[in-house]
Chains A and B, each alone.
Chain A
Amino acid sequence: MTILECKNVSKNFGALAAVQAVSFTLNRGEILGMIGPNGAGKTTLFNCIVGIHPPSNGRVILDGTDIAGFKPYTICRMGLAKTSQIMEPFRTMSVFENVLIGALHGGQMSMKEARTETDRVIGFVGLTQHSHKPSAAISVPARRRLELARALATGAKVLLLDENMAGLNPFEIDEALELLRKIRDSGKSIVVVEHIMRAVMGISDRLIVLNYGAKIAEGTPEVVANNEDVIEAYLGRKAS
């Protein structure tokens, strides 16, 4: 059951083809990993899906509706949320208020409903003890969870996570993976962009690999790990 589909999505910035005719599907309840070297176009693709830039070409279909060209807030309200690689919390506001904004505006809830939902989501991700601290004053792993919480509070069905585990130590990564499984089990579908191989290989049901803006491989983690093009993209060609 496809919940998100990209069909031949391209994005050009002037002469630079950042994303070239990428197609993929995300099924309901699936965790899809997206990997590729730096600069492969993963973040740009996410930005196109979420409405930050409209794609130059191609279609983005969320639960049956073509959302290409819609504004980011509309897409969010339709059920698609993203976390950012470079986190931008609302710094002077507390953790609670950060998440509240997701519930109020993304989730379109009344103040009362939003507050209840915010408490629930904060509990779900395990940030309750930080709830009233200023968001600039919490640790990196906590801030990553805050990004997640805000996205969840919008009521999103599909989450796009852009390097949500960057900056975490191995123990924290395991905790983060636990949380991801919990989120998936609660009915969400997730696309995960990560550079930490054991994390993304371990958690993903399927993977796609991007390089220089194009999709070069797709399949289960085992298949992808043994794919020659993928190995070459990361390690370069074998000197013969």
Chain B
Amino acid sequence: MHQISTAKTFWLFFIPACIAVALIPLFISSEYTLRVSALVIFWIGMSGCWNIMSGYTGYIDFGPVVYFGIGSYTTAICMTRFGALFFPSAILSGVVSALIALPIGIPTLRLRGAYFAIATFAFAETMKQVALEFDRTFGVKFFEGSHGITLPISGHDNMFFFYCVFAVTLAIVLVHYAIEHSKFGYGLKAIHEAEASAEIAGVNTTGVKLRAYVTSAFFLGILGGIEAYWITYITPADAFSVQKTVQMVIMTLLGGMGTFLGPIVGASFFTLLSEVLGTKFVEYYLIMVGAVIIGIILVLPSGIIGTLKARKGIRFI
């Protein structure tokens, strides 16, 4: 195996790339293109979160959207009920998600394979139901059930939200970099390859998994908060929609699970593909998504980056 880049060449490439992306809004006149760019970055962040947990450890989480939804609702409730400002609310959203992820992660991460997947899914659906039924059951006005919560109009344009998601996604990408050559990252990969061997080699498997799970939840919470403010109206069905999980999974799968570039490549490709298909083939969109998924699994199970790594022995970072 040979590495394409060392640490120095990585930064040499990465920093200009970040600056270039950061300057996009200043050079685009079309609001539509700006929105799509922001969307691509948003999904890089989302699939990155899934990659941190499931991509590296191989524990397939089917319920990551729950932390997104918790984040959306935290921001919505803080801003509407407590009159808080956006930035503190968004940060709080991340913290709340992380705090909930901890006690949920401890028992759930003891499960493996299909059981872990189903348990995480079950938890996500439970929270969706809670948001839907809580008010009605306890006679309070908190989540607003299926009426949804309407946030104050932000008065901000797409550029503002572009930079919000850019900041969070940048952090997520940096976490990926930190994982790739760190003790924590090796721990994650060891768990994926052979968890039993990892344990007897001294890896604190529970601690490592939990750290990944909570980190992922934290960023998902913030992204959820940002989206709530962006679209100004949230409902349980949307905020906790399994559709979002599906997209996170596909994008990471397409790009390559457990790789640095995987979410970036996968999310970019898939979001752009969706925009094209979505406008041209509205009705057939989901059928195409299904076909894409089947295609990826049959042809490129390691994703684009994963296949490149395996076949050509190339490591990008």
Interfacial residues, chain A to chain B (CB-CB below 8 A):
50-52, 71-73, 76-77, 81-82, 84, 88-94, 97, 100-102, 104-108, 111, 114, 132, 134, 150-151, 154
Spot the interface stretch: B93-101, B151-159, B185-193, B291-299: B185-193
Contact of B202 with A102 in the complex, beta carbons under 8 Å: yes
Min Cβ gap B1→A in Å is 7
Contact of A84 with B197 in the complex, beta carbons under 8 Å: yes
Interfacial residues, chain B to chain A (CB-CB below 8 A):
1, 181-183, 186-187, 189-190, 193-194, 196-205, 310
- With A104-B186, A105-B187 given, is the CB distance from A93 to B193 under 8 Å? yes
Min Cβ gap B202→A in Å is 3
Contact of A76 with B197 in the complex, beta carbons under 8 Å: no
Contact of B183 with A50 in the complex, beta carbons under 8 Å: no
Contact of A154 with B201 in the complex, beta carbons under 8 Å: yes
Contact of B189 with A90 in the complex, beta carbons under 8 Å: yes
With a cutoff of 8 Å between Cβ atoms, the chain B residues found around residue A82 in the complex are 200
Contact of A104 with B193 in the complex, beta carbons under 8 Å: no
With a cutoff of 8 Å between Cβ atoms, the chain A residues found around residue B200 in the complex are 50-52, 72-73, 76, 81-82, 84
7 A-B pairs within 8 Å (CB atoms) are namely A76-B201, A84-B200, A100-B186, A106-B203, A111-B182, A134-B1, A154-B202
Min Cβ gap B185→A in Å is 10
A62 to B109: give the CA distance in the assembly, Å. Answer: 29
Selected from A51, A81, A94, A114, the residue in CB contact (under 8 A) with B201 is A81
A162 to B199: give the CA distance in the assembly, Å. Answer: 16
With a cutoff of 8 Å between Cβ atoms, the chain B residues found around residue A151 in the complex are 201
Q: Which residue of A lies closest to B195 (CB)?
A: A88
Contact of A101 with B187 in the complex, beta carbons under 8 Å: yes
Contact of B194 with A88 in the complex, beta carbons under 8 Å: yes
- With A93-B189, A111-B182 given, is the CB distance from A73 to B202 under 8 Å? yes
A97 to B201: give the CA distance in the assembly, Å. Answer: 12
Closest 10 CB pairs of A and B: A106-B202, A76-B202, A90-B193, A88-B194, A72-B199, A105-B202, A105-B203, A88-B197, A104-B183, A102-B201
Min Cβ gap B305→A in Å is 13
With a cutoff of 8 Å between Cβ atoms, the chain A residues found around residue B189 in the complex are 90, 92-93
Contact of B190 with A111 in the complex, beta carbons under 8 Å: no
Contact of B205 with A73 in the complex, beta carbons under 8 Å: yes
Contact of B183 with A88 in the complex, beta carbons under 8 Å: no
Min Cβ gap A205→B in Å is 25
Min Cβ gap B9→A in Å is 19
A92 to B204: give the CA distance in the assembly, Å. Answer: 20
- Since A73-B204, A88-B196 are in contact, a sample of 17 more A-B pairs with Cβ atoms closer than 8 Å, ordered by chain A residue number, is A71-B199, A77-B202, A82-B200, A84-B197, A88-B193, A89-B193, A89-B194, A90-B190, A90-B193, A90-B198, A105-B186, A105-B190, A105-B201, A105-B202, A105-B203, A150-B201, A151-B201
A102 to B205: give the CA distance in the assembly, Å. Answer: 13
Selected from B181, B196, B198, B204, the residue in CB contact (under 8 A) with A101 is B198
A90 to B198: give the CA distance in the assembly, Å. Answer: 9
Contact of A92 with B203 in the complex, beta carbons under 8 Å: no
A73 to B199: give the CA distance in the assembly, Å. Answer: 5
Min Cβ gap A227→B in Å is 32
Contact of B196 with A52 in the complex, beta carbons under 8 Å: yes
A203 to B90: give the CA distance in the assembly, Å. Answer: 64
Contact of B197 with A108 in the complex, beta carbons under 8 Å: no
Selected from A76, A94, A105, A150, the residue in CB contact (under 8 A) with B183 is A105
A169 to B153: give the CA distance in the assembly, Å. Answer: 76
Min Cβ gap A85→B in Å is 12
Selected from B181, B183, B193, B199, the residue in CB contact (under 8 A) with A91 is B193
Q: Which residue of B lies closest to A156 (CB)?
A: B202
Min Cβ gap B209→A in Å is 12
Contact of A90 with B194 in the complex, beta carbons under 8 Å: yes
Min Cβ gap A52→B in Å is 7
Min Cβ gap B286→A in Å is 34
Q: Which residue of A lies closest to B207 (CB)?
A: A73
Q: Which residue of B lies closest to A134 (CB)?
A: B1
| Residue of A81, A88, A105 contacting most chain B CB atoms (<10 Å) | A105
| Residue of B189, B194, B200 contacting most chain A CB atoms (<10 Å) | B200
Min Cβ gap A115→B in Å is 10
